[in-house]
Structure 1
Amino acid sequence: MRSFRPRLRRLARRYRRVAAALMAGVAVWAALSVLRPAGPPTTAVLVAERALVGGQTIAAGDIAVRQIPTDALPAEYLDEPDQAVGRPLTVSLPPGAVLLPTSVVTKAALAAPGLAVLPVTLTATAVGLVEVGDRIDLLGSDSDTDTALVASAARVVAVLTGSKDSSPLSPVSTSGPVVLVEVRPAALPAIAAAASRGPLGFGLR
């Protein structure tokens, strides 16, 4: 019994030292946690998963929801996939770019203040040539025989249809992509009248 008590006291002293060391470690960790500055607040936003081309229709795999520092975000942004999936892009985006309300075709985000947007069909030569963001002059018939300039420097907001796949054996088509163009409201009647007679010609600026 006498030999057991010293051994018990030695074990107790040893474990007291271990416990003290553990408590000291916990205290240091707690102090460092308090002193370490918290990370910046973040917000869940919609970003491009890969490089996206203006005019393409967004698929679910093209975008993702990511946490971005709130201070780095613009005033408005998209944060739900349903806000973008199935809609054409109005601009090209690099990987990781935040999608804005103006990045996709919607009724509310197409035209700049004071301007209007309307769809027109261009001639077949526009396929693969006219892209979102281009400024084009629209050429059409203002009568049965004459061709005239019906709008100048119209901005292409979206390219909705048209295929780049063609070959010398492909049948000749006179119509090309349907594009949405941004113009002044005063130009709408002339464009609509010319478009009713067939695909519009164009000039790139």
Structure 2
Amino acid sequence: MIKLKNSEQVEGIRRSCMLLSELLEKLRPMVQPGVSLLELDKAAYDFIIKHRAVPAFLDYDGFPATLCLSVNETVIHGIPSKRRLVEGDIIGVDCGIDLGGYFSDAAVTWAAGKVSPEADLLMKVTRECLDRAIAAVVPGARVHDISRAVFSHATAHKFGVVRSYCGHGVGLEPHEDPQIPNYVSAGPNPRLLPGMVIAIEPMINAGRPEVR
């Protein structure tokens, strides 16, 4: 069931999102060759606790960390480890925060040093997919308008669109309805209404769309 939020709830979610944005700004300079994934995770945990919030992903369905850190061919849900980034890696940094019962969720992909032209283009096109998807979010539009915006732009650049995972509603729980696929599926296609809060998560591969 889709949960429409009132103005007070939207403001609480906004504060959680702003704190998460501040965290990502803090982490960005740390993403350099030589940093370990555990160092990034600890920095995120310490920041969230310092601000009297709770890491939303930690212990969620058994996940053992604050951040999902997905390097190179790992699409999603990578577990932080002692692995150190090397020149040319790209890393997906995904985090959620529970601030007073209001949840935020955001992911970014960053480069460690200089990356290949293909990796650079992948990040550029994925960001453009997100921008196009956000532009499609207007009252009265439908979920598949978001899906179409992502899919059409990614495939125009010969990239694969992951179908096994998708965006989702968020705010009062870490994951809520509706699902926001990155392709036009045969599934539900609800209308976008005032009070809906969603996490749009383009997942784009340089190659085939399948994951394993």
- TM-score range (shorter-chain normalised) is under 0.3
Question: Which structure is higher in RCO with an 8 Å CA cutoff and minimum separation 6?
Answer: 2
Between structures 1 and 2, the one with greater strand share: 1
Larger radius of gyration: 1
- Using the size of structure 1 for normalisation, the TM-score is 0.23
- Using the size of structure 2 for normalisation, the TM-score is 0.23
